Amino acid sequence: MNRVVHPIEEESYRRLRARLDTSHLPPLTRAVVERVIHSAADLEYAADLVTDEADLVAAHAALHAGAPVVVDVEMVAAGITRRATVCRLRDAESRPGLTRSAHAIRLAHEQVGPGALWVIGNAPTALEELLTLDAAPALVIGLPVGFVGAAESKAALRASGLPAVSNVSEKGGSAVAAAALNALLYHPTSEETP
């Protein structure tokens, strides 16, 4: 089913493209970069995001084939409007050596198993915990925000070799993480017309 785009969104993308030429990017990379920039009104993401088109193609296929989507916080879930998500933060508890966010990731992994798309936009400890599990993800959108652990957890994600979307700086957050997933959701499949 094709998505109906509101005129305000169309104008926003027109203005974005007037300021930044993204035409050289591969299709899914372009979709992710533009949607993240659009969500934050921050053109710096064009140089800050790290993506791989082959990873995005595989993740797009998995997503549209029904792979589960796991989020670290309800704010990320709220930004993903066309797909049900799994968020176990309400069930999680902190304890010495384990944050509530990290425990939620453990609980979600037990629930969904391998092949999920993981969208982490808040807690670096959630991303760090995911990297300790044998999650075999379809994709990890690792865009946690903060001055403590965010850049480091994203560097660890890139070093892990897992299929990923991340960024180099401390910035990130729920809105941009949801935007990256939405870019894959909204991008047409081969059965849909663009």
The residues annotated with a catalytic role in the active site are 38
Task: Please report where in the chains the tokens 């800050």 appear, as a residue.
Answer: 48
Q: How many CB atoms lie within 10 A of CB 21?
A: 9
Assign 166 to helix, strand or coil.
strand
Q: Which residues of 145-184 are buried (b: 16+ CB within 10 A; e: fewer)?
A: beeebbbebbebbeeeebbbbbbeebbbbbbbbbbbbbbb
Q: What are phi and psi of 165, to 5 degrees?
A: -120, 125
Sheet-wide strand order for 49-50: 49-50, 164-167, 139-142, 117-120, 69-71
